């Protein structure tokens, strides 16, 4: 079975399933993962055709490309949900991950996991108060490897009109980060920046995501990828520090030790492992 890269992806770039000619360009954009979208980016009358196009192009992806591919399917209860799952059942064991929008009911996620199999990697996209209230249950579904925040639909659900800096959404972002930590899964993925023409807005949103404890961010334009990677990545100094910590930890056999005048215990080692995982990816 091929492993998926979604677990530690910083940048995840959406591309419509109706535009297969863009798949390769998206994969070459520098994004850690692409999200082929069968949901919001596809009109109702084009759903079946988009799925057929995806079925034709998935075999053309290499193993490495499949490991960097996520497919956002249509939500549970929609007319297209079961057909989406039927298509992806043969690909989740080859590295392709699945994003479930409108994640609210743990039972729906268990149903997706049952169809896709034990090796599936599922990203639960939380877009409503019901999803927020069920975060801990959603995060406990074994095949759910990451949580993501659909902050635009979340605002619609609650009748919110968040300001540019979005302090109104702090409670929800804190909840996603905390639930991910309790479930011992990678840091969650923050929502999109809709202003694709402002590098400053993107940088501010990415810095906010990092400050809250998010580890990734959704992108809707290739020009956003580099800024997200920079804001959510690690500097060369941080990478070098992490490798030194892990090397010394291995030599010490689990003992607490001091490095550069700083005590290194298990939480510090876990932080170094997260940085090292991003390097390997």
CA angle 223, 227, 233 (to 5 degrees): 140
For residue 143 the two structure tokens come to 């095949």
Q: What count of residues does the chain have?
A: 281
CB 28 within 8 A of CB 245: no
Confirm or deny that 72 is annotated as ligand binding.
yes
Chain centroid, CA 61 distance in Å: 20
CB 111 within 8 A of CB 138: no
Confirm or deny that 127 is annotated as ligand binding.
yes
CA 251 vs CA 260, 262, 279: distances in Å: 16, 17, 21
Confirm or deny that 28 is annotated as ligand binding.
no
Helical residues (DSSP H) of the chain, grouped into ranges:
23-27, 47-57, 63-67, 81-88, 106-116, 129-133, 135-139, 151-158, 170-182, 199-212, 225-232, 236-252, 266-280
Residue given tokens 């940048």 in the structure block: 11
CB 183 within 8 A of CB 136: yes
CB 176 within 8 A of CB 135: yes
CA angle 49, 54, 58 (to 5 degrees): 160
Report which of 276, 280, 281, 277 is spatially closest to residue 244, judged by C-alpha positions.
276
Binding positions: 72, 127, 153
Binding positions for substrate: 72, 127
Binding positions for Mg(2+): 127, 153
């Amino acid at each position: 079975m091929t492993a998926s890269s979604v677990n530690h992806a910083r940048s995840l770039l959406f591309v419509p399933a109706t535009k297969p000619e863009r798949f390769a360009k998206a994969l070459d954009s520098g994004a850690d993962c692409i999200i082929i979208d069968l949901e919001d980016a596809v009109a109702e009358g084009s759903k079946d055709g988009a799925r057929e196009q995806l079925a034709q192009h998935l075999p053309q992806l290499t193993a490495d490309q499949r490991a960097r591919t996520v497919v956002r399917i249509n939500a549970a209860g929609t007319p297209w949900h079961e057909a989406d799952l039927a298509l992806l059942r043969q690909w989740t064991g080859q590295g392709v991950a699945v994003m479930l929008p409108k994640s609210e009911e743990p039972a729906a996620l268990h149903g997706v996991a049952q169809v896709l199999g034990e090796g599936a990697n599922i990203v639960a996209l939380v877009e409503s108060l019901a999803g927020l209230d069920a975060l801990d249950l959603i995060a406990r579904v074994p095949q759910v490897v990451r949580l993501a925040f659909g902050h635009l639909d979340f605002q619609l659900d609650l009748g919110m009109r968040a300001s540019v800096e979005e302090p109104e959404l702090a409670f929800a972002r804190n909840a996603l980060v905390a639930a991910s930590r309790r479930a011992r899964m990678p840091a969650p993925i923050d929502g999109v920046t809709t202003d694709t023409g402002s590098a400053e807005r993107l940088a501010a949103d990415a810095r906010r995501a990092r400050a809250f404890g998010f580890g990734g961010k959704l992108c809707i334009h290739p020009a956003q990828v580099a800024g997200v990677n920079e804001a959510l990545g690690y500097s060369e100094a941080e990478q070098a520090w992490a490798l030194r910590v892990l090397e010394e930890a291995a030599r010490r056999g689990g003992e607490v030790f001091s490095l550069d005048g700083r005590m290194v215990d298990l939480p510090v080692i876990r932080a170094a492992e997260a940085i090292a995982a991003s390097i390997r990816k």
